[in-house]
Amino acid sequence: MRFCVVGAGFSGAIIARHLSEKGYRVLLIDERSHLAGNCHTERDAKTGIMLHRYGPHIFHTSNLRAWKYVNRFGDFEPYVNRVKAVSGGRVYTLPINLLTINQFFGKTFSPREAYDFIRTKADQKIFDPDNFEDQALSMIGPELYHAFFYGYTRKQWGMDPRELPASILKRLPLRFNYDDNYFSHTYQGMPKDGYTSIIERILEIPNVEIRIGTRFEDVEEKFIHVFYTGPLDRYFGFKFGRLGYRTLDFERIEGEGDYQGAAVINYCDEQIPYTRISEHKHFAPWEADQFSKTVCFREYSRLCGEEDIPYYPIRLAKETELLECYVAHARNVRGVSFLGRLGTYRYLDMDVTIAEALSACDRIDEIFSAGGTLPAFFIK
């Protein structure tokens, strides 16, 4: 008998490689026609530009183990994510920094002046914000909130920001200097040959049969154990109901030269139906000049239907309650472990996904050497 790994994204590929290195036989399956899951990149057939098929993916981390791991399987080019935002017919820079504040309010503030000014805008009466809107108002005040977050958030989540938890905004930086690097992690970059090449190289190993275009539901073989990185609710046939997700629609735009002069521009106004436009040749600035044509994608967010690709878990009270039912049920089922963004119903960046998969490998080794049973989840 062999092991089965369901899903050939980062989570599944790392587990499959580890099992192979330990001398086990593995069947790795994915229902898609390609490897790399949601991080999949491919050359556009018409232009040759490297496309991120499921939306822009930028690698950023302070986790040295995850960074070293990906660098074993591909070369990374330096890449800093500098996002622009259109609001009220004008272009600004994100995350909100000194330039955004000075441009928006028509000022020439120093860092200290900007800090004091934003303090006068911030709603001092809100002590313990329990929703997204109150959190924003207590941090940046009404003008910046309405310009950059209100409409964008309504489009992205399809609901009023007062219905969303404050925790979403806690993660967004507010800077009183001119640093417009979207992330503040130590290591940032873009793989020279794309993410799919990294996953292919992770999987250049013996003892692993890779079957793409195959649904787990259609495999009849019996396995020692299944590592499942697909949706948790789907594994159980949605028996308690469906965990809610947002999905994305991408509308392709083709053109000559440079369409927007930046990789990502957010559209913050509610009346513009899309959330952002990404121009993919700017994700590979080292080769962008080679292409006379360009390809961009307008991104639209909506509630995920049964046939759609689940992107962002909603995780409000209703979903959390349902998740608890599935988690409790999964803990009583033998022979399967759930991992990754879909298996644990969380939004995970790639570095977190990789770090969690590597810790799962450590745990697998400990359990195998102690003769124990593999758990339903490797996270708490």
Judged by the rule CB under 6 A, the positions of this chain that interact with ligand FAD are 6-12, 29-32, 37-39, 55-59, 215-217, 229-230, 234, 248, 311-312, 340-342, 348-351, 353
- Please, which residue, 70 or 322, has the CB nearer to ligand FAD? 70
CA distance 190 to 352: 16
- Please, which residue, 143 or 249, has the CB nearer to ligand FAD? 249
Return the number of other C-beta atoms located less than 10 Å from residue 222's C-beta: 9
Q: Shortest approach of ligand FAD to residue 147 CB, angstroms?
A: 23
CA distance 169 to 314: 15
Q: Shortest approach of ligand FAD to residue 7 CB, angstroms?
A: 3
- Please, which residue, 240 or 311, has the CB nearer to ligand FAD? 311
Q: Shortest approach of ligand FAD to residue 48 CB, angstroms?
A: 22
Q: Shortest approach of ligand FAD to residue 360 CB, angstroms?
A: 11
Tokens describing residue 325: 């039912």
Cis peptide before 95 (omega within 30 of 0): yes
Please give the C-alpha separations between residue 63 and each of 18, 67, 100, 184, 352, in angstroms, as whole numbers. Answer: 19, 6, 30, 12, 8
- Please, which residue, 176 or 338, has the CB nearer to ligand FAD? 338
- Please, which residue, 84 or 341, has the CB nearer to ligand FAD? 341
Helix extents (H) in 191-236: 195-202, 232-235
Please give the C-alpha separations between residue 25 and each of 7, 117, 224, in angstroms, as whole numbers. Answer: 16, 62, 10
Q: Which of 208, 209, 228 is nearest to 20 (CA)?
A: 208
Residues annotated catalytic, as ranges? 171, 175, 246, 276, 299, 347, 349
Q: Shortest approach of ligand FAD to residue 19 CB, angstroms?
A: 15
Q: Shortest approach of ligand FAD to residue 304 CB, angstroms?
A: 11
Tokens describing residue 286: 């080292």
Indicate the angle between helix axes 98-105 and 111-121, nearest 10 degrees. Answer: 60
Tokens describing residue 61: 């981390």
CA distance 205 to 193: 19
Indicate the angle between helix axes 350-370 and 10-21, nearest 10 degrees. Answer: 30
Sheet of strand 208-212, all strands in order from the earlier edge strand to the far edge: 208-212, 26-30, 2-6, 223-228, 336-338
- Please, which residue, 49 or 350, has the CB nearer to ligand FAD? 350
Return the number of other C-beta atoms located less than 10 Å from residue 305's C-beta: 10
